[in-house]
Structure 1
Amino acid sequence: MTDSSSVSFSRRALLGAFAATTLTAAPTYSKAAGFLKGSGDIRRLKMYSARTGEKIDMIYWIEGNYIKDAVNEINYFMRDWRTNDVKNIDMRTMDIMAAAHNLMDANDPYMLLSGYRSPKTNAMLRARSSGVAKNSRHLRGQAADLRLASRSVNQMARAASSCHAGGVGRYSGSNFVHMDCGPVRTWGR
């Protein structure tokens, strides 16, 4: 028998309620490998875009499973804001970003400066700066340029590097860190 006064929950509302109750109980790992490979945990991304005014606070992985709707929202959020082109962001990049954020024990969101870049946007940026790669991982949805108000570029780069999972670039002059899921390497100051 069903009660006519029962409340219907959307998947998003249910995940939000789950997150509110479980985040305080979620384990804190001292190494990113534990976070990335551990079972029984959650992965979350908190970001905002000064370019679009959008914000996202999304649990995208629970106990070994990516949540398709959440991943799709992250893909849209990390789109090329100049052209509105959307590309699937490599989930390894999402995992590196989440692990680094967790390692820094930061509560504030990342500021996303650049996620996916269309070929047109990448060509325009290359024409303006010698620091933009012709075959940038941004073109493949495998990179993000991020800033965190509560942490320095060096702190962010150390956290991302400790994941031993991709490329980490320090751009101290511009106050951001590049994180990608390519070969393990570091550059910049």
Structure 2
Amino acid sequence: MVNRTNGLTRRALLGAFAATSVIAAPTYSNAFGLLRGAGDVRRVRMYNGRTGENLDTIYWIEGNYIKEALNEINHFMRDWRNNQVKAIDTRTIDLSAAAHNLLDTTEPYMLISGYRSPETNAMLRARSSGVAKNSRHLQGEAADLRLNSRSVNQMYRAAAACAAGGVGRYTSSNFVHMDCGPVRSWGS
């Protein structure tokens, strides 16, 4: 019997952190490697409380991204304030899927923010100092995500263990930012 604490096994966490400690120059191959155990299939599950939409799609099979699934993801992760759609970088999708696999849950992510139009980003910047002027959201390279069954710290550690981009912890707002930029982390 496996002893689980908040859905993560001690062995899985130790293995994930040990794997990242021996890698001198983290790359996106780390996230891809964490997805290999899925039987050459990559899947993303999300819902959007603002639009009421749900997404549960296999977007990659046997080395190939599925164009129709990526189009569905792009539409789902659109700027919901004005319905503008931008292609979401597949590296961001892969990072979020890899982190989700590490968290060992079937609960879909709640999408807080995917693509942001320049108008939306400017409006959010006027309201908060935590919104970057040149946010990766503007390029379709970032996602802000939440899970009710996992803490911000658990999500943050899982995404950081992938060593595949930027990971921000926003504990007071209850979400984790994941992007396909340089490997870095921030927040508390």
| Same fold at TM > 0.5 | yes
Tell me which amino acid in the other structure corresponds to 1:162.
A
Matches within 5 A, 1:1-189: 31=16, 32-36=31-35, 40-189=39-188
Seen in structure 2, the aligned counterparts of structure 1 residues 65 and 33 have a Cα distance that, compared at 3 Å, is closer
Count of residue correspondences:
161
Give, in whole Å, the separation in 2 of the partners of 1:110 and 1:74.
13
Seen in structure 2, the aligned counterparts of structure 1 residues 33 and 91 have a Cα distance that, compared at 3 Å, is closer
8 Å contact from structure 1 (residues 40, 64) kept in 2: no
Q: Hey, which bits of structure 1, 4+ residues long, moved more than 3 A?
A: 30-33, 36-40
Which residue in the other structure is 1:9 paired with?
Answer: none
Identity, % of aligned positions: 74
Tell me which amino acid in the other structure corresponds to 2:123.
M
* Cα deviation, residue 41, structure 1: 1.4
Seen in structure 2, the aligned counterparts of structure 1 residues 172 and 39 have a Cα distance that, compared at 3 Å, is closer
8 Å contact from structure 2 (residues 32, 94) kept in 1: no
Tell me which amino acid in the other structure corresponds to 1:80.
D
Give, in whole Å, the separation in 2 of the partners of 1:173 and 1:160.
18
Tell me which amino acid in the other structure corresponds to 1:83.
N
8 Å contact from structure 1 (residues 43, 60) kept in 2: yes
Give, in whole Å, the separation in 1 of the partners of 2:118 and 2:96.
23
SS at match of 1:111: strand
1:125-149 residue CA offsets vs partner (Å, 9 max, x unmatched) = 0000000000000000000000001
1:93-146 residue CA offsets vs partner (Å, 9 max, x unmatched) = 000000000011111000000000000000000000000000000000000000
Unaligned runs of 5+ in 2: 1-11, 17-30
Structure with the greater alpha carbon radius of gyration: 1
CA RMSD of superposed structures (Å): 1.6
SS at match of 1:121: helix
Which residue in the other structure is 1:3 paired with?
Answer: none
Query: TM-score if structure 2 supplies the norm length?
Result: 0.82
Give, in whole Å, the separation in 1 of the partners of 2:181 and 2:171.
21
Unaligned runs of 5+ in 1: 1-27
Seen in structure 2, the aligned counterparts of structure 1 residues 90 and 123 have a Cα distance that, compared at 3 Å, is same
Give, in whole Å, the separation in 2 of the partners of 1:54 and 1:33.
27
Tell me which amino acid in the other structure corresponds to 2:105.
A
Give, in whole Å, the separation in 1 of the partners of 2:39 and 2:57.
17
Of structures 1 and 2, the one scoring higher in RCO (CA 8 A, sep 6+) is 2
Query: TM-score if structure 1 supplies the norm length?
Result: 0.82
Give, in whole Å, the separation in 2 of the partners of 1:169 and 1:145.
9
